[in-house]
Structure 1
Amino acid sequence: MKDLFDYCEFGDLKLNSRIVRTGLWESEREKSGNLTPEIYNRYENIAASGVGLIITELYSLYPRDVFSKYSNTVNYTQFVREARDLTDLVHVYDVPIFAQLGFVQFNKKTEQNMKIDDISIEDIRKIQTDMIIAAQKFDYARFDGIQIGLGNYYFLSRFINPNFNSRSDRYGGSTLSRLKIVLEIIKVIKETTELHINCRLNAFDGTTNGMTLDETIEVAKILEKYGVNSLQITRPRSPQFFTRENKEKNPLVEASEKIIKNVDIPVILGGGATTQKQINDILNSTDINYISMQRPFVADPSFLVEWQIEGNGESKCKTCNNCYWKKTSTCFINRPAKWDVQSDISSH
């Protein structure tokens, strides 16, 4: 039987468990972008807890993006040095760490939030260059991988979506053509870095003429063919969907299983599980081997320590979604002033 605390392989990486921590907002950074002691402390608690893989909070590619004020950035002078301190700290616990990269809007001078069809070839080259430079910075900082945001309603998720992309040039039309902007980025990242490439991908989006699961499966197969090492499956506005009151069966479970059957790379189920029993039931009733969690780590960065001891753990997260709506990396219900890794570990 599979267990969430199994030692396992994730491509070429070794994981201490099947749990993937996914980040979202970074509210504890300094205004200049610099990492604070609270950020280092939080990551150390997560790494020490028994997590298998850490995916950082979002690194926003552009300073004028709608999410930039709630996110960290690669665009400050001390980024590589500080990020390397962070990755070195996480690696002490033999935990790999990926940098999550994405953006929602593309703004050019006075043109704000440009539509996909209005993006010029010159604009595409700028986006590709900026993402490749960011990936190279991640590589210098010793991140183990990069997560490229192709899910939710991020810019690239809309670019590859036929509901938003009706271009008539080589970057529009077929699924392969709409993916070219991403595939060309992946090619250069593969050639110039040692990073594991993960793509966060919508299983479906529910919009008229948008991405269906069948097309997502086609996208997943193309991404694998062009060198992507793993996938994380999500859905637009997933934090709003996953609430305590929503008793609907998680549709991502079935979708992830179908994707898994069509690719030979690791696939992470994105969210929806909050108890040890839920996770182990999914692991043992499906082909899913990895499950990501975000808000439980906001509620308590060290919760997996208790889960390993007690064996029947349940997240402290009440699924109030305030961390999502208020764009913060801290919990509004569980409010310790600071997390201290040594006191957390010694208390057990």
Structure 2
Amino acid sequence: MKDLFDSCDFGDLKLNSRIVRTGLWESQREPSGNFTPEIYDRYESIAASGVGLIITEVISLYPHDVFSKYTHTINFNRFVREAKDLTDLVHVYDVPIFAQLGFVQYNKRTEQNMKSENLSIDDIRKIQTDFIIAAQKIGYAGFDGIQIALGNNYFLSRFINPAFNSRNDKYGGNTLNRLRIVLEIIKVIKQNTSLHINCRLNAFDESSDGMTIDETIEIAKLLEKHGADSLQITRPRSPQFFTRNTENNPLIDATEKIIEEVDIPVILGGGARNQNKVNDLLNETNIDYISMQRPFVADPSFLVDWQIKGDGESFCQACNNCYWKKTSTCHLKPCSPEYYKNSE
């Protein structure tokens, strides 16, 4: 039987458990971009808790992106030095760590929030070059891998989506063409770094003529063929999609279908908060890895209690205040009678 605390392989990496901590954004940085003591403390708590893999909060490719004020940017001039301290700290616990990289808007001088069809070939080359340079910085900083944000509502998720990409050149039209911008990035990163490449990918969306599970499967197969080492499956409007009462997660069925079609590790994204349910899911499906984000916001060390109790449940109430208020802290935990009652 599978257990969430199994030691397991993840491509060429060794994991201490099947749980992947995934990030959203980093609001505890200093205004100048510096990593704060709170960030280092939180990552150490997560690494020491029994987690298998850590994926950072998103690191913005561009300093003036829509979310850059809530998170780090790769262009912070001390990023490599301070991130190296972070990865060294995580590696003390034999936990691999990936840097999540993405952006929401592409802005060029007076042209703001450009759409896919408005990008020139030079613009596409600029984006690709920026990703490749960022990947090299990520490698210098000691990360084990990079997660390319192709999911949720990040720019590249729209570029590869037929509902948003109306280009009629080699970067538009069929699935391969729409994905070409990413495949070319992956090729060059593979040639110039030793980073594990993970792609965060939407399983489906609600857009008319948008992403379906069949389209996503085709994209997943192309990503694998062209060098991606693993996938994380999510969807737009995540984590709002997951509530405390969610029992039937449609991502489970979608993730299983993707797993059947590729030979690289696939992570189920979001919605898990109960230890017994996680183990049931692992043993009732072909899913081997499950990611969590908000439970680690509520308590970075919750997996320690799970290992001790054997039937743990995260305090996280799925209220999404840590999302809507764009912070890295739980707004319920300090004042919750339930929290103090359970802590006795």
TM exceeding 0.5: yes
1:3-30 per-position Cα deviation (integer Å, ceiling 9, x unaligned) = 0000000000000000000011111101
Q: Which residue of 2 aligns with 1:55?
A: 55
1:313 pairs with 2:327? no
Whether the 8 Å contact between 2:152 and 2:201 is mirrored in structure 1 is yes
Q: Which residue of 1 aligns with 2:333?
A: 334
Count of aligned positions: 336
| Structure 2 counterparts to residues 1-348 of structure 1, below 5 A | 1-247=1-247, 249-335=248-334
Which AA in structure 2 matches 1:222? L
Distance in 1 between the 2:323 and 2:201 partners? 19
58-67 or 96-105: bigger deviation? 58-67
74-83 or 172-181: bigger deviation? 74-83
62-71 or 7-16: bigger deviation? 62-71
1:88-120 per-position Cα deviation (integer Å, ceiling 9, x unaligned) = 000000000000000110011111111111011
Distance in 2 between the 1:276 and 1:65 partners? 37
Distance in 1 between the 2:34 and 2:12 partners? 31
Shift of 1:274: 0.7
Distance in 1 between the 2:192 and 2:278 partners? 37
Identity, in percent, stands at: 77
Q: Secondary structure at the match of 1:240?
A: coil
Q: Secondary structure at the match of 2:86?
A: helix
Distance in 1 between the 2:244 and 2:306 partners? 20
Q: Secondary structure at the match of 2:194?
A: coil
Shift of 1:148: 0.2
Unaligned runs of at least 5 residues, structure 1: 337-346
Distance in 2 between the 1:180 and 1:3 partners? 38
Which AA in structure 2 matches 1:322? N
1:233-286 per-position Cα deviation (integer Å, ceiling 9, x unaligned) = 001002111011444x10000000000000000000001111001110110000
Q: Which residue of 2 aligns with 1:339?
A: none
1:170-213 per-position Cα deviation (integer Å, ceiling 9, x unaligned) = 10011000001000100000000010000000000121000110
Q: Which residue of 2 aligns with 1:344?
A: none
Unaligned runs of at least 5 residues, structure 2: 336-342
286-295 or 318-327: bigger deviation? 318-327
Shift of 1:335: 3.7
- Say what the alpha-carbon RMSD is for the aligned residues: 1.1
Distance in 1 between the 2:313 and 2:44 partners? 21
Which AA in structure 2 matches 1:14? K
TM-score where L is the length of structure 1: 0.95
Q: Secondary structure at the match of 1:84?
A: helix
Whether the 8 Å contact between 2:298 and 2:330 is mirrored in structure 1 is yes
Which AA in structure 1 matches 2:14? K
1:46-69 per-position Cα deviation (integer Å, ceiling 9, x unaligned) = 000000000001101111111111
Q: Secondary structure at the match of 1:197?
A: strand
Q: Secondary structure at the match of 1:210?
A: coil
Distance in 2 between the 1:167 and 1:82 partners? 40
Distance in 2 between the 1:132 and 1:302 partners? 34
Distance in 2 between the 1:152 and 1:238 partners? 7
Shift of 1:310: 0.3
Which AA in structure 2 matches 1:197? I
Shift of 1:73: 1.1
Distance in 2 between the 1:190 and 1:2 partners? 32
Shift of 1:146: 0.2
TM-score where L is the length of structure 2: 0.96
Q: Which segments of structure 1 move beyond 4 Å, counting only runs of 4 or more?
A: none
Q: Secondary structure at the match of 1:65?
A: coil
Which AA in structure 1 matches 2:171? Y
1:149-171 per-position Cα deviation (integer Å, ceiling 9, x unaligned) = 00011100000000000101110
Which AA in structure 1 matches 2:295? P
Q: Secondary structure at the match of 1:268?
A: strand
